[in-house]
């Protein structure tokens, strides 16, 4: 922003910001908004079906709560849309340290739920910082990269980015929340990719990841060092060797696949979906909601959902190219790829083509933190898109 | 903002023609980054193509398979027990029937992982020890989809409690079952047998059609005719959730077929009479000072076809102890565990078919028939009946005494039988000994021909073959290893062995049923019948079910003349004043012929080891056209005429619907 001297300065600035905001509203990506709205709607539909018999006598318990979260999430989206991305860039350090402390607080204070600590209970709502952390992590790391964009070919920059990113990833991994840690990792990789890290460095990083996977899954256990809990490893590898994995891990996978398959083309409906209603499908309102939704609504419903994800992701990728500056582009890249990663791993695991990790399905899985954080991220995407168009608008008019 | 800076000048430069401007790029933007976004776009398409294809493959291509899988997931097939067929007596009176009951079952696969608390509560509710429940589940480890029955006949309170608290007991169900009910309690207990859980050995032996949860006949009629009685279990299915809690009512998929009705040749009234007679006989023996008389058997046969009309064994037990939940404590109380069996004198033992006794004088007709067949005597020439006898062939000069030391007279065969003169038969025994060796042991051969020494072929229960001692048997029995001091002497067949055998003593052992079968042969004119219990089988609609044919009575090539001499002797034994069972049968309204027996047997009782007399009586009636053979044994009951004969008389009295006069005791052979 250019600064003018004189007494008009403040007034002009206010005027220009007002004009910019109006421009932002005018230049919204309405297709992206439609896609997100469709996902939220279909998500509520899925929740209402899958949780219909979860609480006896109160079929709408979960869907009502989820609607409240969606409403709060829309507010978060508006905030994300209104706030200029420059603010995040300027304050990336506080965001970064704030994120780390939030996740650390969970480790210290958070209550244990099913063997892993991911929540902070704030009375009416159990708050899951690692969900919000996804967005904050992207906003912070992107700030660091954008500040040093001229040196983006320097391997030491890549090293420092990695060093910065690895701290929150390890904290989330320690919760233990392997799935979310992987989401963070995918976002980090996407940000390096978009920021223009040379292919050679990316190749080295890829080799490094392959090495880590080998050590964690194979070499480590072979020499008696286990980085993963038994169930984590079993779930990760189960989809590759279904015959070798433990009964429990295979049971969940088989029930999930049976749920998806039994939906056939038109679905079994809410009442007849025995895999969901009789409890054969594990974690049906959360991690495996896609399987429950597919059982109830069939190929028709499930492919509609997939199509909406595809729409949102396509618009998301487009936002990267429309971004006003490198920071916004990196943020958009991180958000979109993390989103894609979640959608693929979650849906893939219910159908046996991705490892089983506890990743919620964005906009669909029951859970407030995930819903609000994802809507806020969409707000940021919309904001990037809008500000990018506003920035380019005058030129276009001149042409 | 950049826009203010980039605004074009107010006065445009004199450009001849505005160039077509390409889409402007932000300063940070480079083709490299656009390319990378394009790469991400390709990745996006690949990922979604994979997801769509997989979804299509699962739902559209193989959806029907998964529907089946999901349905079999939620449906659980439960066997619906077929009611077991009833067992009736020959007139159709029920001896064993079914009572409907509710079983409490545990489905191991549906129990929660932390099952201890639930099983503990179940144990407290049912009174079944936790160890037993856990043991039952452990036994079904390899087959978690069949239920473990905890209580086969739960009371109403327990059942309604479990139904009300179903959610607290995942994996626990109640189901309709049947338990055996015995209207006459201990009646014919050893004969009827009982039903119990199938053992793994039985499962292996019985093969297909049986499942590990089945209950099958374990003894007696229940076991022998299990295939008729058991019926065919049906099936029903019900919705279960993933925790095994039922979510719907049972829907039958295959109706159970009730078991067939098995009708026995047994007569309820005669069986009751025989069991009472047996108790009376034991009481008479004890009244006579036979303190060790605590058991016995009575067999009543139709001599013409071998139908068993009554077969009593004492002591007995109540088979109801095996219906419902079987506890060691309850079994022990009835003497049905190895520890308590001896104290209760082995109530599970069917003495009629499984116990062997020396027959004593009841064996004399065998000796008589064999001697006549071998032409060792002529029936109406006489032999001396003396107080004692020494075999001229015996180098040891062993003296064999007559039971009556005061007699010294010539007797013909019928008289010797009626009077039961031992010395007469000693002489016959010695004659058999004197037969040339190349003719073999003729007396034993005839005994075997008459059915001794091997199974009778009775259709129900297990039986003992008994023992007919021969020189060959003796030679094999006494070896250096078994009899180190005296085997060289003991293994030889000596005159004393033949002499003892002639009066049914020595090593000879017979079962009461074998004896009854032999007396049936005398009564029916030389036919060896196969004793049997099965009369017919009907399906639940009342239609006859084919049953295997019975072996026809085997005619034994025995001289009718000889038979009539023996019958004469048996008649005299009951009708002439010197007859050993004259006091019992002399005044009997129907003409009965028979023979007493007082057989010495070395018995080992708690605190006693020595000789005890086994009280026998075998005979038939009416003498001119016999329709009933009765053989009675009172274990350690003393003289045959004292205990066994009066007991047999009671059975005849019931059979012929006549009153029997209480008899006076007389000591005789």
CA-nearest of A339, A382, A379, A380 to A361 is A339
Among chain B residues, the shortest Cα distance to A3 is held by: B1
Each residue's pLDDT tens digit, A332-366: 999 999 999 999 999 999 998 988 888 999 999 99
Domain boundaries, chain A: 90-360
CA-nearest of B302, B281, B304, B303 to B293 is B281
Average pLDDT over residues A227-237: 73
Say yes or no to pLDDT of B275 above 90: yes
- Pairwise CB contact (< 8 Å): B37 & A320: yes
B453 φ/ψ angles, rounded to the nearest 5 degrees: 85, 0
Q: What is the radius of gyration, based on Cα positions, of chain A? A: 22
Q: CB within 8 A of B240, min separation 6: which ones?
A: A278, B74, B75, B76, B110, B246, B247
Say yes or no to pLDDT of A121 above 90: no
Enter the tokens of residue B131. Answer: 């160890």
Q: CB within 8 A of A315, min separation 6: which ones?
A: A29, A31, A32, A35, A385
Cis amide bond preceding A176, omega within 30 = yes
- Pairwise CB contact (< 8 Å): A294 & B240: no
**CB contact at 8 A, A88 and A99:** no
The predicted pLDDT at position A1 comes to 42
Q: What share of chain A in percent tops pLDDT 90?
A: 51
The predicted pLDDT at position A13 comes to 57
Say yes or no to pLDDT of A293 above 70: yes
- Pairwise CB contact (< 8 Å): B55 & A303: yes
CATH of domain B360-535: 3.40.710.10
Mean pLDDT of the residues in chain B: 87
Q: CB within 8 A of A118, min separation 6: which ones?
A: A106, A110, A128, A130, A175, A177, A180
User: In a 3-state reduction of DSSP, which class is residue B569?
Assistant: helix
Each residue's pLDDT tens digit, B529-558: 999 999 999 999 889 999 988 888 999 999
**CB contact at 8 A, B653 and B585:** no
The predicted pLDDT at position A246 comes to 65
**CB contact at 8 A, A103 and A172:** yes
**CB contact at 8 A, A85 and A328:** yes
Write the CA distances from B58 to A281, A357, B54, integer angstroms.
16, 21, 6
Residue A179 or residue A235, greater confidence: A179
The predicted pLDDT at position B12 comes to 46
The predicted pLDDT at position B14 comes to 47
The predicted pLDDT at position A26 comes to 76
Among chain B residues, the shortest Cα distance to A194 is held by: B33
Say yes or no to pLDDT of A11 above 60: no
pLDDT band per the 50, 70, 90 thresholds, residue B20: very low
Average pLDDT over residues B95-110: 86
The predicted pLDDT at position A274 comes to 84
The predicted pLDDT at position B606 comes to 78
Nearest-10 Cα torsion for B483, B488, B491, B495? -130
Residue B666 or residue B234, greater confidence: B234
A344 φ/ψ angles, rounded to the nearest 5 degrees: -65, -50
Nearest-10 Cα torsion for A258, A259, A261, A266? 160
User: In a 3-state reduction of DSSP, which class is residue B91?
Assistant: coil
Query: Residue A201 CB: number of other CB atoms within 10 A?
Result: 17
Among chain B residues, the shortest Cα distance to A348 is held by: B51
The predicted pLDDT at position B248 comes to 72
pLDDT band per the 50, 70, 90 thresholds, residue A14: low
Q: How far apart are CA B113 and CA B441, in angstroms?
A: 72
Each residue's pLDDT tens digit, B226-238: 999 998 888 888 7
The predicted pLDDT at position B396 comes to 83
Mean pLDDT of the residues in chain A: 85
Of A57-71, B14-28, B59-73, B449-463, which range is least confident? Answer: B14-28
Describe the crossing of helices A368-398 and A8-26 by its angle, rounded to 10 degrees.
110
Average pLDDT over residues B162-185: 85
Average pLDDT over residues A204-210: 91
Say yes or no to pLDDT of B143 above 80: no
Average pLDDT over residues B352-380: 94
Each residue's pLDDT tens digit, B242-253: 766 667 777 788
Pairing outcome for strands B593-605 and B172-181: unpaired
Shortest Cα distance, chain B CAs vs residue A397, angstroms: 10
Enter the tokens of residue A349. Answer: 């695991």
Average pLDDT over residues A308-327: 93
Each residue's pLDDT tens digit, A178-197: 889 999 999 999 999 998 88
Say yes or no to pLDDT of B273 above 70: yes
pLDDT band per the 50, 70, 90 thresholds, residue B136: confident
Residues of A in contact with B62 (CB under 8 A): 261
Each residue's pLDDT tens digit, B486-525: 888 888 999 999 999 999 999 999 999 999 999 999 999 9
- Pairwise CB contact (< 8 Å): A278 & B241: yes
Looking at the domain covering B76-232+248-264, what would its CATH class be? alpha beta
Enter the tokens of residue B664. Answer: 């006076």
Enter the tokens of residue A299. Answer: 């190929």
The predicted pLDDT at position A313 comes to 96
Say yes or no to pLDDT of B240 above 60: yes
The predicted pLDDT at position A396 comes to 45
Residues of B in contact with A193 (CB under 8 A): 36, 40
Nearest-10 Cα torsion for A28, A31, A34, A39? -120
Q: How far apart are CA B142 and CA B490, in angstroms?
A: 56
Q: What is the radius of gyration, based on Cα positions, of chain B? A: 40
Domain boundaries, chain B: 76-232+248-264, 360-535
Say yes or no to pLDDT of A9 above 60: no
Residue A40 or residue B238, greater confidence: A40
Q: Which residue in B25, B36, B71, B112 has the most chain A C-beta atoms within 10 A of its own C-beta, making it the best mutation to test that interface?
A: B36
Q: Which residue in A189, A190, A261, A279 has the most chain B C-beta atoms within 10 A of its own C-beta, making it the best mutation to test that interface?
A: A261
Residues of B in contact with A310 (CB under 8 A): 44, 48
The 10 Å CB-count burial string (b at 16+, else e) for B58-73 is bbeeebeebbebbeeb
pLDDT band per the 50, 70, 90 thresholds, residue B137: confident
B137 φ/ψ angles, rounded to the nearest 5 degrees: -70, -40
The predicted pLDDT at position B238 comes to 76
Q: What share of chain B in percent tops pLDDT 90?
A: 54
Residue B63 forms contact with A (CB below 8 Å) = yes
- Pairwise CB contact (< 8 Å): B60 & A194: no
Say yes or no to pLDDT of A2 above 50: no
Residue B114 or residue B543, greater confidence: B543
Please name every residue paired with B510 in a beta bridge, in sequence order, or none if there are none: B357
Residue A98 or residue A217, greater confidence: A98
**CB contact at 8 A, B596 and B630:** no
Of B78-82, B309-313, B462-466, B500-504, which range is least confident? Answer: B78-82
The predicted pLDDT at position B298 comes to 97
Say yes or no to pLDDT of B307 above 70: yes
Q: CB pairs below 8 Å between A and B: how many?
A: 157
Pairing outcome for strands B383-385 and B409-411: antiparallel
Each residue's pLDDT tens digit, A126-157: 678 889 999 999 999 999 998 887 666 788 88
Nearest-10 Cα torsion for A380, A385, A391, A396? -170
The predicted pLDDT at position B373 comes to 94
Q: What is the 3-state secondary structure (H, E, C) of B122-152?
A: HHHHHCCCHHHHHHHHHHCCCCCCCCEEEEE
Shortest Cα distance, chain A CAs vs residue B111, angstroms: 14
- Pairwise CB contact (< 8 Å): B240 & A2: no
| Residue A160 exposure: Cα atoms within 13 Å on the Cβ side | 16
User: In a 3-state reduction of DSSP, which class is residue B253?
Assistant: strand
pLDDT band per the 50, 70, 90 thresholds, residue A398: very low
Residue B587 or residue A109, greater confidence: B587
Each residue's pLDDT tens digit, B608-646: 888 999 999 999 999 999 999 999 999 999 999 899 999
Q: What share of chain B in percent tops pLDDT 70?
A: 93
Among the partner-chain residues B28, B65, B73, the one whose CB lies closest to the CB of A280 is: B73
CA-nearest of B33, B12, B1 to A399 is B12
């Amino acid at each position: 922003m250019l600064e003018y001297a004189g007494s008009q300065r403040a007034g002009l600035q206010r005027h220009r910001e007002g004009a910019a905001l109006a421009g932002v509203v005018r230049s919204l990506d309405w297709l992206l908004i439609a896609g997100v709205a469709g996902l939220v709607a279909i998500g509520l539909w899925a929740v209402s079906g899958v949780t219909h018999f979860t609480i006896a006598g109160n079929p709408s318990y979960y869907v009502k709560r989820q609607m409240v979260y969606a409403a709060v999430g829309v507010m978060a989206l508006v905030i994300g849309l209104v706030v200029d991305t420059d603010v995040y860039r300027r304050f990336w350090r506080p965001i970064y340290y704030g994120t780390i402390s939030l996740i650390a607080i969970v480790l210290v204070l958070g209550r244990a739920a099913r063997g892993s600590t991911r929540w902070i209970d704030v009375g009416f709502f159990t708050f899951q910082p690692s969900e919000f952390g996804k967005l904050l992590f992207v906003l912070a790391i992107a700030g660091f990269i954008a500040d040093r964009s001229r040196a983006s070919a320097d391997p030491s920059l890549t090293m420092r980015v990695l060093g910065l990113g690895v701290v929150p990833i390890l904290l989330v991994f320690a919760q233990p929340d392997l799935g979310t840690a992987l989401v963070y990792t995918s976002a980090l990789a996407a940000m390096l990719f978009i920021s223009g890290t040379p292919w050679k460095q990316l190749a080295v990083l890829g080799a490094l990841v392959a090495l880590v996977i080998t050590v964690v899954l194979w070499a480590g256990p072979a020499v008696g060092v286990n980085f993963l809990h038994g169930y984590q490893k079993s779930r990760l590898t189960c989809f590759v060797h279904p015959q070798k994995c433990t009964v429990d891990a295979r049971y969940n996978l088989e029930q999930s696949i049976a749920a998806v398959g039994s939906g056939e083309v038109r679905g079994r409906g809410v009442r007849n979906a025995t895999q969901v209603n009789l409890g054969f499908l594990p974690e049906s309102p959360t991690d495996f909601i896609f399987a429950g939704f597919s059982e109830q609504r069939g190929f028709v419903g499930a492919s509609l959902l997939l199509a909406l994800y595809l729409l949102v992701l396509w618009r998301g990728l487009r936002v990267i190219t429309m971004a006003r500056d490198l920071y916004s582009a990196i943020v958009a890249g991180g958000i979109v790829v993390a989103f894609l990663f979640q959608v693929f791993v979650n849906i893939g695991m219910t159908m046996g083509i991705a490892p089983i990790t506890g990743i919620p399905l964005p906009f669909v899985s029951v859970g407030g933190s995930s819903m609000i954080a994802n809507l806020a991220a969409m707000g940021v995407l919309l904001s990037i898109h809008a500000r990018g168009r506003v920035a380019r608008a005058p030129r276009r008019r001149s042409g | 903002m950049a826009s203010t800076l980039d605004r074009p000048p107010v006065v445009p430069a004199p450009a001849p023609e505005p160039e077509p401007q390409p889409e402007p790029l932000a300063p940070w933007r480079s083709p490299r980054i656009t390319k990378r976004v394009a790469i991400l776009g390709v990745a996006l398409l690949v990922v979604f193509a994979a997801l769509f294809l997989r979804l299509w493959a699962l739902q559209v291509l193989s959806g029907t398979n998964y529907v089946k899988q999901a349905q079999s997931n939620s449906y659980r097939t439960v066997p619906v027990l077929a009611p077991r067929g009833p067992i009736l007596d020959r007139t159709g009176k029920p001896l064993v029937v079914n009572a409907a009951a509710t079983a409490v079952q545990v489905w191991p696969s549906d129990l929660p992982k932390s099952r201890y608390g639930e099983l503990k509560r179940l144990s407290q509710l049912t009174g079944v020890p936790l160890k037993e429940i856990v043991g039952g589940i452990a036994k079904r480890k390899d087959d978690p989809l069949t239920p473990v029955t905890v209580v086969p006949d739960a009371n109403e309170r327990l059942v309604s409690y479990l139904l009300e608290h179903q959610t607290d007991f995942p994996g626990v169900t109640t189901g309709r079952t049947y338990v055996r009910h015995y209207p006459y309690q201990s009646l014919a207990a050893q004969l009827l047998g009982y039903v119990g859980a199938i053992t793994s050995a039985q499962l292996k032996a019985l093969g297909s059609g049986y499942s590990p949860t089945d209950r099958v006949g374990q003894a007696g009629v229940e076991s022998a005719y299990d295939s008729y009685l058991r019926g065919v279990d049906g099936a029903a299915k019900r919705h279960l959730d993933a925790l095994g809690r039922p979510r719907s009512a049972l829907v039958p998929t295959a109706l159970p077929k009730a078991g067939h009705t098995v009708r026995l040749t047994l007569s309820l009234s005669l069986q009751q009479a025989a069991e009472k007679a047996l108790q009376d006989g034991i009481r008479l023996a004890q009244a006579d000072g036979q303190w060790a008389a605590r058991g016995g058997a009575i067999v009543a046969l139709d001599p013409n076809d071998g139908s068993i009309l009554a077969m009593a064994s004492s002591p007995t037990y109540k088979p109801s102890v095996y219906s419902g939940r079987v506890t060691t404590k309850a079994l022990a109380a009835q003497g049905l565990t190895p520890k308590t069996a001896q104290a209760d004198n082995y109530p599970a033992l069917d003495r009629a078919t499984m116990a062997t006794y020396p027959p004593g004088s009841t064996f004399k007709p065998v000796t008589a028939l064999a001697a006549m067949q071998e032409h060792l005597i002529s029936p109406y020439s006489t032999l001396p009946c003396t107080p004692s006898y020494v075999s001229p062939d015996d180098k040891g000069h062993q003296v064999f005494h007559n039971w009556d030391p005061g007699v010294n007279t010539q007797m013909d065969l019928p008289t010797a039988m009626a009077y039961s003169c031992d010395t007469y038969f000693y002489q016959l025994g010695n004659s058999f000994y004197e037969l040339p060796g190349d003719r073999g042991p003729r007396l034993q051969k005839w005994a075997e021909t008459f059915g001794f020494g091997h199974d009778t072929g009775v259709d129900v229960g297990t039986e003992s073959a008994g023992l007919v001692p021969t020189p060959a048997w003796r030679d094999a029995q006494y070896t250096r290893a078994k009899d180190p001091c005296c085997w060289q002497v003991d293994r030889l067949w000596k005159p004393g062995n033949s002499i003892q055998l002639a009066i049914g003593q020595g090593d000879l052992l017979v079962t009461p049923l074998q004896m009854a079968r032999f007396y049936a042969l005398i009564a029916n004119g030389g036919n060896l019948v196969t004793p049997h219990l099965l009369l017919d089988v009907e399906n639940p609609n009342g239609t006859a079910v084919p049953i295997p044919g019975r072996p026809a009575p085997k005619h034994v090539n025995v001289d009718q003349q000889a038979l009539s001499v023996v019958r004469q002797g048996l008649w005299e034994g009951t009708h002439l004043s010197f007859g050993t069972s004259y006091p019992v049968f002399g005044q009997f309204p129907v003409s009965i012929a028979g023979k007493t027996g007082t057989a010495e047997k070395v018995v080992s009782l708690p605190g006693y080891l020595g000789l005890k007399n086994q009280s026998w009586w075998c005979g038939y009636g009416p003498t001119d056209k016999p329709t009933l053979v009765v053989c009675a044994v009172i274990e350690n009951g003393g003289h045959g005429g004292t205990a066994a004969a009066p007991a047999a008389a009671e059975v005849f009295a019931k059979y012929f619907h006549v009153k029997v006069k209480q008899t006076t005791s007389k000591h005789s052979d």
